[in-house]
């Protein structure tokens, strides 16, 4: 049985993660818990776990700072970062610190199982325990699918958070260090839709939300949802939604009628 240190400042979430880890693998047990990075460092002075899970956003000391200090103490300790923030900068920084895995909340059970199985193989190897050929083959197959799912989840999260930015396939592919054509193929296989279609859909959903929930002028809605030309935005909006942007705001929005902008902006 391998020991796990769980670091999370929200008590309810920490208890939930403890249960999820216990349900996902019989080979790992949460034997230590800490509410912040300082508590985790104190724990590590007295005991050495086989694996550490830590949230990335915590009071007093964030997860990345904790990881940097832990790696100075125990360079070989596997660390899994858990975060609700799907930003590539966090993932890239975590990789620089030698984080074993970066999981996004809500954690998918299959992805957690795959991660724990992979870490178990590494720990077994460190202790001279060799897996059977069938176990290795099954793990390699599930890892490939899990890594792809996480990659596409990260890409989709990035698109949602940056609708007003440069979302060309080549730009996003460079962020995840993949060939643009290969990323396009992965995205299509995983989601059933083209990357460009997903970007257009996400931008339109963002525009609809802005129209319904803000008093922004329509040309600002167009800009913030990634549409450079207000007139082109209004044309595309009418084609896809079946209403003009102004009519959509009147029908679904919270803003008053005095905020409506004419379609000939």
Decide which of 101 and 238 is more confident: 238
144 pLDDT exceeds 80? no
Q: Is the fold of 2-127 the same as that of 143-195?
A: no
- Report residue 63's pLDDT band, with 50, 70 and 90 as the boundaries: confident
Helix (H) or strand (E) holding 34: strand 28-34
pLDDT computed for residue 258 by the predictor: 42
**Is it true that domain 2-127 has CATH number 3.40.50.2300?**
yes
Collapsing DSSP states into helix, strand and coil, what is residue 2? strand
172 within 8 A of 182, measured Cβ to Cβ:
no
pLDDT at 259: 43
Pick from 195, 194, 220: nearest CA to 207? 220
Q: What pLDDT, on the 0 to 100 scale, is given for residue 262?
A: 43
CA distance 126 to 24: 22
Specify the 3-state DSSP secondary structure of 87: coil
Tell me the pLDDT tens digit for each residue of 19-33: 999 888 888 999 999
What is 197-252's CATH number? 1.10.10.60
Residue 161 has pLDDT above 50, yes or no: yes
| Nearest in space to 243 (alpha carbons), one of 232, 235, 253, 231 | 235
Residues 6+ apart with CB under 8 A from 81: 54, 55, 56, 63, 64, 67, 90, 94, 99, 101, 102, 103
**So what's the pLDDT on residue 183?**
87
Domain range summary for the chain, segments of one domain joined by +: 2-127, 143-195, 197-252
| 143-195 placed in CATH 3.30.2000 | no
- Give the per-residue pLDDT at 62: 80
Whether the pLDDT of residue 141 is over 70: the answer is: no
pLDDT for 43 equals 94
**What's the burial of 243, exposed, middle or buried (CB within 10 Å: 0-12/13-18/19+)?**
middle
Nearest 10 degrees: CA dihedral of 242, 247, 248, 249? 170
């Amino acid at each position: 049985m391998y020991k796990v240190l769980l670091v999370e400042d929200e008590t309810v979430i920490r208890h939930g993660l403890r249960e999820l880890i216990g349900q996902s693998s019989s080979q790992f047990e949460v034997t230590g818990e800490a509410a912040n990075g300082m508590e985790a460092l104190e724990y590590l002075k007295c005991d050495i776990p086989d694996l550490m899970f830590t949230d990335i956003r915590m009071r007093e000391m964030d997860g990345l700072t904790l990881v940097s200090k832990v790696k100075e103490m125990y360079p070989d300790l596997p660390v899994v970062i858990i975060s609700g923030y799907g930003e590539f900068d966090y993932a890239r920084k975590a990789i620089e610190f030698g984080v074993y895995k970066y999981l996004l909340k809500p954690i998918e059970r299959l992805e957690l199982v795959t991660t724990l199985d992979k870490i178990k193989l590494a720990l077994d190897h460190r202790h001279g325990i060799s897996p059977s050929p069938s176990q290795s083959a099954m793990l390699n197959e599930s890892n490939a699918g899990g890594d792809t799912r996480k990659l596409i989840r990260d890409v989709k999260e990035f698109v949602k958070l940056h609708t007003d930015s440069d979302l060309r396939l080549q730009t996003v592919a460079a962020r995840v260090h993949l060939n643009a054509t290969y990323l396009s193929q992965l995205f299509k296989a995983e989601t059933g839709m083209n990357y460009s279609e997903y970007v257009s859909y996400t931008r339109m959903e963002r525009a609809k939300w802005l129209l319904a929930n803000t008093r922004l002028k329509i040309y600002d809605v167009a800009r913030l949802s990634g549409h450079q030309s207000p007139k082109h935005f209004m044309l595309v909006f009418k084609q896809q939604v079946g209403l003009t942007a102004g009519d959509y705001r009147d029908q679904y929005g919270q803003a008053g009628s005095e905020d409506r902008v004419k379609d000939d902006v």
